[in-house]
Chain A
């Protein structure tokens, strides 16, 4: 059994939640904030840099460096903003909601500390609309803090989204928060210079902010002893799919993936065998069982395997799953969530779905495999945000690693699972739209031919 290490984000909860202020204070709450208020912004950034904390939303950008990019108030005479990205929507990911439900004060304390770090007195938390109960827990926590005058002149606004995956992308989130359609902006300028209301803005993920609090409690250098080089500290891993004990598990970075699935996760149920693992949310490249055996849950290990730690969402897939059906369903998600601003993504995600559906239906040809890759290459790097890129990278990895199964669909003229796949018949929102609208609005395959 591999050492699990201490919980940091969920420390002191004993598996439960701390939603009353008195309980949080009794457990030592707000010592980090008091410490931070005695420090200069530069000292706070230095503490974060010493911790090695990197963004937990998916991009893994060093948090202290991000704060240091926000200009000093005397350089840009506008209000500075801290925006917290609580729009958790990456399929497979459900960690931020558990953080907000179980340690709301640790999170809100982190907001106040981060605001000090970028010399801001205005915090906006953009929380996905589907997380209604999480929003209520934060409202209750914030009211208690206001009643005891703990905000120190800083305002925190809890802003609810309304259902759009794209708003997890930081510039789309800022557009949405400004009361517009959530469509990504051109960068530069970067949010640090011209973010919310064109003012200097830091955008941080919920888990990153909730980790700032314990970093100030224990000290950055001490935090950096957890985890591994380049991936310090702990991470809340979301484990889902065909595994006996799905759930959120806070573990040190570097933990072996196999041990998470077979040890902590209890293995693959119902006597099935492992077919594949998506390691960092649905937009990361898939891993084969042989790769899973080598993988450690940190940035360098997963990057070395050609994938990414992403949002630390591990989706376990057993041998009943048809990989082409998996591709269809993933592609449908990105097609549904593409904001429509950039043509390659808007059209490419749609084409990818249609090509994969054609293969699944047994009408595919060998050339369709190349066409899938070709469409992906036309999307990659040609859009304002990575939504389309990541969809294409994920699909391309299925084709590359399960090519024989794709070929079987072509050569057998149909799905080799013969209706027995675990994803057989799964209905996506785009299927419902198609059923209620004009059937064939675009015919990419005919157009291409």
Chain B
């Protein structure tokens, strides 16, 4: 494991009266270091740095929606399909991404560039439809914006 990750986790532990509280922030760091998901190796690293077991770390990661247990694309595109976005055309945005990226919801493109997901409320209900790209929120997205978003992400 990188000593940077180990050291960062030690710094996180120091913030809490009980070191176990650092497990979520530690997994978040490890996930960022491993390209957006948590391979078995990441659980061993976090467990080692925290003095717990990989199984415990896995039990935490599997509970929370933002920890990914399988490889993901470079860009994780998440479309909110909860009520406020749904009432304003979220499904058309989902459909446009499916067409644009050529994958079903829940899948990653063959080139590893994009993972497309439908997610629960992102807390941007007044700016529907909300689309998160690697956890950065784009507001007021309509189906007509999807091609331009994909192009921008592909070509930087």
Contact = CB atoms under 8 A, between A and B. Distances in A.
B153 interface: no
Interface stretch (A62-70, A210-218, A421-429): A421-429
Task: Report which residue of A182, A238, A423, A429 has the largest number of chain B beta carbons within 10 angstroms of its beta carbon.
Answer: A429
Contacts of B120: 89, 91, 165, 333, 336-337, 428-429
A133 interface: yes
Interface stretch (A9-17, A38-46, A240-248): A240-248
B64 A133 contact: no
Contacts of B67: 162-163
Contacts of B60: 179-181
B105 to A, nearest CB: 5
A163 B132 CA distance: 13
Contact of A163 (B17, B65, B91): B65
Interface string A81-117: 0000000111111100100000000000000000000
Interface string A109-137: 00000000000001000001111110000
Contact of A79 (B17, B84, B117): B17
Contacts of A165: 120-121
Interface in B114-141: 117-128, 132, 135-137
B59 interface: yes
A176 interface: yes
Contacts of B40: none
B125 A238 contact: yes
A381 to B, nearest CB: 25
Interface in A412-433: 422-429, 431-432
A197 B81 CA distance: 36
Contacts of B42: none
A164 B18 contact: no
Contacts of A242: 87-88
Contacts of B102: none
Given A89-B123, A130-B122, A427-B91, A157 B16 contact: yes
Contacts of B22: 179
A161 B128 contact: no
B125 A91 contact: yes
B77 interface: no
A72 to B, nearest CB: 20
A128 B64 CA distance: 11
Given A92-B83, A427-B91, A432 B123 contact: no
Nearest to A179: B20
Given A91-B82, A197-B18, A330-B83, A179 B123 contact: no
B47 to A, nearest CB: 12
Contact of B28 (A160, A178, A326): A160
B64 to A, nearest CB: 4
Contacts of B87: 241-242, 315, 317-318, 321, 422-423
A160 B84 contact: no
B35 interface: no
Interface in B44-80: 59-60, 63-67
A17 to B, nearest CB: 16
A426 B125 contact: no
Contacts of B91: 423-427
A435 B122 contact: no
Nearest to B86: A426
Nearest to A96: B123
Contacts of A129: 28, 64, 66, 135
Contact of B21 (A79, A91, A179, A181): A179
A339 B137 CA distance: 26
A92 B20 contact: no
Nearest to B123: A94
B143 interface: no
Interface in A299-321: 313, 315, 317-318, 321
B135 A432 contact: no
B24 A179 contact: yes
Contact of B90 (A90, A131, A426, A432): A426
A187 interface: no
B106 interface: yes
B25 interface: yes
A432 B83 contact: no
A393 interface: no
A94 B60 CA distance: 26
A425 B25 CA distance: 36
Interface string B23-44: 1110110000000000000000
12 contacts: A130-B135, A159-B25, A162-B66, A162-B67, A181-B59, A197-B18, A241-B87, A426-B86, A426-B91, A427-B91, A429-B118, A432-B117
Interface of A: 79, 88-94, 97, 122, 128-133, 157, 159-165, 176-182, 197, 238-242, 246-248, 278, 282, 313, 315, 317-318, 321, 326, 329-330, 333, 336-337, 339, 422-429, 431-432, 435-436
- Ranked nearest first, the 8 interchain pairs of A and B with the lowest CB-CB distance are A163-B65, A179-B20, A162-B64, A240-B125, A163-B66, A240-B84, A246-B126, A179-B23
Given A159-B24, A238-B125, A239-B126, 6 more contacts: A94-B124, A94-B126, A128-B123, A131-B123, A163-B67, A427-B91
